[in-house]
Amino acid sequence: MKHIWYTLCGLALCVLIQGCAFSRGTLGDDIKSELIATIQKGSTTKSEVVNLLGAPDRLVQLNGRDVFQYYRYDAKAGSLLLIILNFTRLSIKSDDLFIILNRDGIVEDVISSKRTNDLRFQFWPFD
């Protein structure tokens, strides 16, 4: 009797795994925390920032000051394709880094956070 149960459970597991799909997509380069840590407020210059991180993804003017924006998007999709029902969930999060430069081209402020660290593959769409 036990063998039958094990076989049934194995078959059920095989059927479930067969209907699974995982997908992932990213946009932009990873913004490394150690590089951000080297940027010093009041001393790092605009050219040093560009040398460290490359050209910004977006350049914004803020009351006469330049704001460099760097971003990276991460998307994780999980699908559970059962025989009678399909569930799909796609989660997208971004890491953003803003570097605010004063009129002399010196870093005035750095705003950054990593949201992609807690991004998980999920199937269940109802939570």
Partner 1 sequence: MRSLISRIVPVLVGVFVCLAMQGCNVVRVSLNTTLGPKDVAFIIPGKTTMAEVVAKLGTPDSIGDADVGMVATYRFLDVKYSRVNFGWLAKPWTPVDPDLIFSRTGLGIDAFQVFCDAEWVVVQQGFQRHLTRPPFYPYPFQQSRVSPDGELPPALGLAIMSSHESGNHRSLTALSER
Q: Does 91 bind partner 1 (CB under 8 A)?
A: yes
Q: Does 102 bind partner 1 (CB under 8 A)?
A: no
In this complex, which beta carbon is closest to partner 1, that of residue 53 or of residue 97? 97
Q: Does 97 bind partner 1 (CB under 8 A)?
A: yes
| CB-based contacts of 16, cutoff 8 Å, min separation 6 | 80, 82
The conformation of residue 76, written as its DSSP 8-state character, comes to E
In this complex, which beta carbon is closest to partner 1, that of residue 44 or of residue 98? 98
Half-sphere exposure of 10 toward its Cβ, with a 13 Å CA cutoff? 6
Q: Which of 46, 87, 102, 105 binds partner 1 (CB under 8 A)?
A: 87
Distances (CA, A) of 54 to 51, 87, 97: 6, 40, 13
Instruction: Give the span between the Cα atoms of 67 and 90, in whole angstroms.
Output: 31
Of 38-67, binders to partner 1 (CB under 8 A) are 58, 60-63, 67
In this complex, which beta carbon is closest to partner 1, that of residue 1 or of residue 63? 63
Q: In what order do the strands lie in the sheet with 58-62?
A: 20-27, 65-81, 58-62
Binding site for partner 1 (CB under 8 A): 58, 60-63, 67, 69, 83-94, 96-98, 111-113, 115, 125-126
